[in-house]
């Protein structure tokens, strides 16, 4: 089979049922794939992306034992260790890339996030606590403040002289930031803000640095002046003195032991009429003069609110990247172990390697394809983030695109990270449950990623609303018939497109032969058609169902929206998966022709066809696939793609570039291979000696023959 057979040809060898044996297809597929060779070194550099050097520098730090997670520590010991690690990051000049050059930074927003993500390989608590200090607390001063705040507060935040908390989330409102109840009321007589927590549900909660280490906080509150509420704004509020004692009016509680990330001192904060100077309002997007007059460069309250929150999108960017890295680590461990661990005999003296079992391949290899898709999508996402925040392409439209893509990709990667860690843990059996092999602790630490920086389900609703808004703009004056026949417009070939929707071609015809049928689904254009159709048809259907909302009362409109909430989330998820598939396909187009490209093409096909297989019910009920073709997709995955990719699985995880110092899992260190080699050598020597005991079954067989 040539390298192009799996991609460009429209026919396959006869279906497996027509071959001499059922196993012929997967064995032939694996045999042909074995002739190819992945260029691991080249692929490794390619995966590191635009900020490869920043990633390597951060990995060098994460490889040092003083930054590693250390099991067996008490809660207080872990917190103390992580705080000390933050000070060492400052000493190593590892955390200031995004800050202005005049303060010792580099104005490098993309490189900053890339380096920050890699810290998850050392200890997720270290990564997130550093994110609290420099990605939230200091970043809020930078992005929401003006020159006065930069000069006054930023240097101490950067140096860790002033540890800080990011006080946005409230117990009673969670992701509904617009409805927070903390107030900041201007007192014109004293030229001060009065920060107040009116009731228990308004306590700020889950705040890193709030329980112990934080001495200041960027507090988000409803700005009130002259009896008018101007919505949520951020204020710089001191909370502890130099000795760590709470300042008057500030209350704090320790969140205590959590399900993970226990190196971070998460806690609660409340304010009893705490006063700060008027100038402590971070006033980039809204200001109040000494007379209490409010002004803002953004007239619309809604747009002002989302613009302020949009400046803090880097948290979602970094969670997307960190979850992708954790997935790479989990798969490195599980696939390495699965290629060495043996279990059950397959008709020979030797036991079978776990990764040779189809079910084991089904568990891990689609996840490997998904992780590659996540990785390529993240690099595009990070590039867009850098272009926006560096000012190269900072417009309202690109910021809106960035926020939508963040809301689409962060849920997918954080959920996937948890699922991959769990699957990897189970695939490693009891060894995966041992703390020394890291999978259980990583699973615990990353659990919260699904709900902080925005609950995943809430974020996907934002994505669906954006898709519906784009739809409504395109067909503002269209009648019902035109809307029913909606076809998404071509957006263009920008690195990351706004909605991800594409112009659809004609429907794909079904064919009688299973072999021919799959040939017309596996190619790139057909995958694009099916995945795009899944999104744009769902958007059109939702628009039709929700169209009456414009004529309903607010209560009835909300009820109608709630009725289709699940459909909204499913549609947004399909949109995010389309973005990932497109990113993988664009990355594939840049790979030089040869063996590596062929293997990556199989991997991309596994991801794309896996998405179609997962949503087979939708494609069947909407008439996009016949039952025969749906079966053909599954057969192609099982009989062609999995055997081919299994042959190169170790190379594909080796390209992640995770050294033993970064992996730190004994079962991925070669120890399992040594155990298996010792066992096989023992039994081989025993058989050769003639002293091996006779198997009971063989005696019974001999007796029957007699």
> In sequence order, what DSSP letters do the residues of 251-273 get, joined into one string?
EEEE--S-SS-TTS--EEEEESS
More confident site: 98 or 2: 98
Which of 278, 310, 342 is the last residue before a domain boundary?
A: 310
Residue pLDDT, tens place only, 324-337: 999 999 999 999 99
pLDDT at 520: 64
Nearest residue to 568 via CA among 538, 528, 525, 612: 538
pLDDT digits (tens, 9 = 90+) for 446-475: 999 999 898 999 999 999 999 998 888 766
**DSSP-derived secondary structure letter, 668:** G
In tens, the pLDDT along 204-245 reads 999 999 999 999 999 999 999 999 999 999 999 999 999 999
- The pLDDT value recorded for residue 659 is 97
Would you place residue 681 in the very low, low, confident or very high pLDDT band (cuts 50, 70, 90)?
confident
Q: What is the pLDDT of residues 152-190, one digit of tens each?
A: 999 999 999 999 999 999 999 988 999 999 999 999 999
What is the average per-residue pLDDT within 660-685? 91
Tokens of 6: 């799996």
Q: What is the pLDDT of residues 381-422, one digit of tens each?
A: 999 999 999 999 999 899 999 999 999 999 999 999 999 999
Q: Is the pLDDT of residue 497 over 60?
A: no
Is there a single domain that holds both residue 396 and residue 433?
A: yes
Has residue 6 got a pLDDT over 50?
no
Closest C-alpha to 418, from 445, 454, 438, 456: 445
User: Mapping DSSP to helix (H, G, I), strand (E, B) and coil, where does residue 648 land?
Assistant: coil
pLDDT at 258: 97
| 196 DSSP β-pair partners | 183
428 and 279 both lie in a single domain:
no
State the pLDDT at residue 496. Answer: 32
For residue 504, what pLDDT band results from cuts at 50, 70 and 90?
A: very low
**CB crowding 138-152: b at 16 or more within 10 Å, else e:** bbbbbbbbeeebbee
Position 261 in a domain: yes
Q: What CA–CA distances, in Å, run from 245 to 214, 274, 642?
A: 10, 15, 60
Neighbours of 65 (CB within 10 A): 9
Domain boundary (294, 310, 326) is at 310
Q: Say yes or no to pLDDT of 483 above 50.
A: no
562: in domain: no
Residue 227 zone, left/alpha/beta (φ > 0; ψ -120 to 50; rest): left
Q: Residue 484 pLDDT > 60, yes or no?
A: no
Share of residues in the chain with pLDDT > 70 (%): 89
Residues 30 and 57 placed together within one structural domain of the fold: no
- Other Cβ atoms within 10 Å of 312 Cβ, number: 19
pLDDT of residue 494: 32
pLDDT for residue 519 = 59
Binning pLDDT at 50, 70 and 90, where does residue 11 land? Answer: very low
Q: 426 and 524, same structural domain?
A: yes
Q: For residue 615, give the 3-state DSSP assignment.
A: coil
- Residue 64 and residue 25 share a domain: no
User: Does 495 have pLDDT greater than 70?
Assistant: no
Q: Is residue 29 part of a domain?
A: yes
Assess whether 299 and 430 both reside in one domain: no
Q: What are phi and psi of 196, to 5 degrees?
A: -140, 140
Residue 686: give the domain boundaries: 677-705
Secondary structure (3-state) at 30: helix
Asked if 460 and 409 touch (Cβ cutoff 8 Å), the reply is no
pLDDT at residue 19 in the model:
32
Summary mean pLDDT of the chain? 89
183-187 and 192-196 strand pairing: antiparallel
Instruction: Please check whether residue 252 lies inside any domain of the structure.
Output: yes
> Is pLDDT at 364 greater than 50 in this prediction?
yes
Q: How far is the C-alpha of 281 from the C-alpha of 187, rounded, in Å?
A: 13
- Tell me the sheet residues that pair with 513: none
Residue 281 per-residue DSSP state: B
Within this chain, do residues 302 and 327 fall inside the same structural domain, yes or no? no
Domain identity same for 100 and 236: yes
Residues 192-196, mean pLDDT to the nearest whole number: 98
Q: What percentage of the chain reaches a pLDDT higher than 90?
A: 74
Does residue 505 sit in the same domain as residue 609?
yes
What mean pLDDT is predicted for residues 597-614? 97
In a domain, 259, yes or no: yes
Residues 635-640: what's their mean pLDDT? 95
CB atoms near residue 261 (< 10 Å)? 24
**Confidence at residue 10, expressed as pLDDT on a 0 to 100 scale:** 32
DSSP 403-436: HHHHHHHHHHHHHHHHHHHHHHHHHTHHHHHSGG
* Predicted pLDDT of residue 9: 32
Whether residue 94 contacts residue 34, with contact meaning beta carbons closer than 8 Å, is answered with no
Residues 304, 338 within the same domain: no
The residue that leads in pLDDT, 8 or 545, is 545
383 with 434, same domain: the answer is yes
3-state secondary structure 151-191: HHHHHHHHHCCCCEEEECCECCCCCCHHHCCCEEEEECCCC
For residues 194 and 32, the model is more confident at: 194
Are 423 and 331 part of one and the same domain?
yes
Strands (E), 101-170: 164-167
pLDDT grade, residue 58 (50/70/90)? very high
Distance CA 540, CA 520 (A): 26
With CA atoms as reference, report the closest residue to 327 among 276, 289, 364, 281. Answer: 364
Residues 6+ apart with CB under 8 A from 156: 162
In a domain, 302, yes or no: yes
In a domain? residue 43: no
Q: 260, 292, 310 — which closes off a domain?
A: 310
Q: What is the predicted pLDDT for the residue at 347?
A: 61
pLDDT at 346 over 90: no
Q: Once rounded to an integer, what is the mean pLDDT over residues 71-95?
A: 97
In a domain, 641, yes or no: yes
Number of structural domains the chain divides into: 3
pLDDT for res 642: 97
For residue 198, the domain's CATH number is: 2.40.110.10
CATH code assigned at 524: 1.20.140.10
Residues 533-576 pLDDT 10s = 999 899 999 998 988 888 888 899 889 889 999 999 999 999 99
């Amino acid at each position: 089979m040539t390298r192009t057979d799996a991609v460009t040809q429209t026919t396959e060898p006869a279906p497996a049922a027509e071959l001499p044996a059922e196993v012929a297809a997967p064995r032939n597929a694996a045999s042909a794939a074995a002739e190819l060779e992945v260029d691991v070194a080249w692929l490794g550099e390619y995966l590191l992306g635009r900020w490869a050097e920043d990633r390597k520098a951060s990995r060098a730090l994460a490889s040092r034992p003083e930054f590693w997670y250390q099991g067996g520590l008490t809660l207080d010991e872990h917190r103390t260790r992580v705080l000390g690690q933050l000070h060492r990051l400052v000493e190593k000049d590892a955390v200031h890339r995004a800050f202005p050059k005049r303060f010792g930074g580099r104005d490098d927003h993309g490189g900053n996030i890339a380096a920050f993500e890699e810290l998850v390989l050392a200890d997720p608590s270290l990564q997130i606590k550093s994110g609290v200090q420099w990605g939230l607390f200091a970043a809020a001063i930078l992005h929401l403040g003006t020159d006065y705040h930069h000069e006054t507060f930023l240097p101490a935040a950067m140096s860790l002289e002033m540890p800080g908390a990011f006080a946005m989330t409230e117990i009673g409102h969670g992701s509904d930031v617009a409805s927070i109840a903390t107030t900041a009321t201007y007192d014109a007589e004293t030229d001060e803000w009065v920060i107040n927590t009116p009731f228990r549900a308004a306590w700020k909660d889950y705040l890193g640095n709030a329980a112990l280490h934080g001495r200041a906080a960027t507090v988000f509150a409803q700005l009130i002046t002259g009896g008018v509420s101007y919505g949520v704004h951020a204020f710089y509020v001191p909370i502890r003195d130099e000795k760590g004692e709470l300042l008057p009016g500030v209350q704090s509680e320790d969140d205590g032991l959590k399900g993970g990330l226990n190196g971070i001192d998460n806690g609660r904060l409340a304010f009893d009429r705490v006063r700060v100077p008027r100038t402590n309002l971070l006033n980039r997007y809204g200001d109040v003069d000494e007379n209490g007059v409010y002004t803002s460069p953004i007239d619309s309250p809604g747009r002002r609110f989302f613009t302020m929150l949009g400046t803090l999108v880097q948290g979602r960017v970094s969670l997307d990247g960190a979850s992708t890295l954790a997935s790479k680590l989990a798969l490195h461990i599980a696939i390495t172990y699965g290629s060495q661990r043996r279990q059950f005999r397959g008709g020979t003296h030797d036991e079978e390697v776990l990764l040779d079992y189809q079910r084991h391949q089904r568990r891990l290899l689609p996840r490997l394809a998904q992780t590659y898709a996540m990785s390529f999508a993240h690099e595009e996402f990070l590039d867009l983030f850098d272009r926006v925040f560096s000012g190269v392409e900072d417009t309202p439209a690109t910021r809106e695109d960035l926020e939508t893509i963040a809301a689409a990709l962060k849920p997918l990667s954080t959920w996937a990270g948890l699922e991959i860690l769990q699957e990897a843990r189970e695939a490693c059996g009891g060894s995966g449950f041992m703390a020394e092999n890291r999978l259980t602790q990583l699973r615990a630490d990353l659990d919260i990623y699904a709900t902080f920086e925005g609950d995943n389900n809430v974020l996907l609703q934002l994505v669906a609303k954006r898709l519906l808004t784009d739809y409504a703009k395109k067909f503002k004056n269209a009648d019902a018939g035109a809307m029913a026949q909606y076809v998404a417009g071509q957006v263009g070939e920008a690195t990351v497109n706004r909605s991800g929707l594409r112009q659809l071609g004609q429907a794909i015809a079904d064919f009688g032969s299973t072999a021919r049928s799959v040939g017309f689904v596996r190619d790139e254009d057909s995958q694009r058609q099916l995945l795009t159709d899944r999104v744009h048809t769902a958007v059109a259907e939702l628009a039709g169902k929700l169209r009456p909302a414009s004529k309903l009362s607010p209560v009835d409109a909300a009820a109608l929206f709630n009725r289709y909430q699940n459909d909204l989330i499913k549609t947004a998820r399909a949109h995010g998966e389309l973005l990932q598939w497109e990113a993988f396909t664009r990355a594939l187009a840049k790979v030089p022709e040869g063996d590596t490209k062929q293997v990556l093409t199989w991997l991309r096909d596994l991801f794309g066809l896996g998405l179609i297989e997962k949503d087979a019910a939708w494609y069947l009920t909407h008439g996009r696939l016949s039952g025969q073709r749906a079966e053909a997709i599954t057969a192609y995955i099982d009989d062609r793609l999995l055997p081919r990719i299994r042959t190169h699985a170790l190379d594909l995880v080796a390209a992640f570039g995770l050294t033993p110092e970064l992996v730190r899992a004994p079962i991925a260190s070669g120890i399992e291979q040594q155990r298996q080699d010792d066992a096989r050598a023992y039994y081989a020597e025993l058989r050769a000696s003639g002293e091996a005991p006779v198997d009971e079954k063989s005696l019974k067989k001999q007796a029957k023959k007699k």
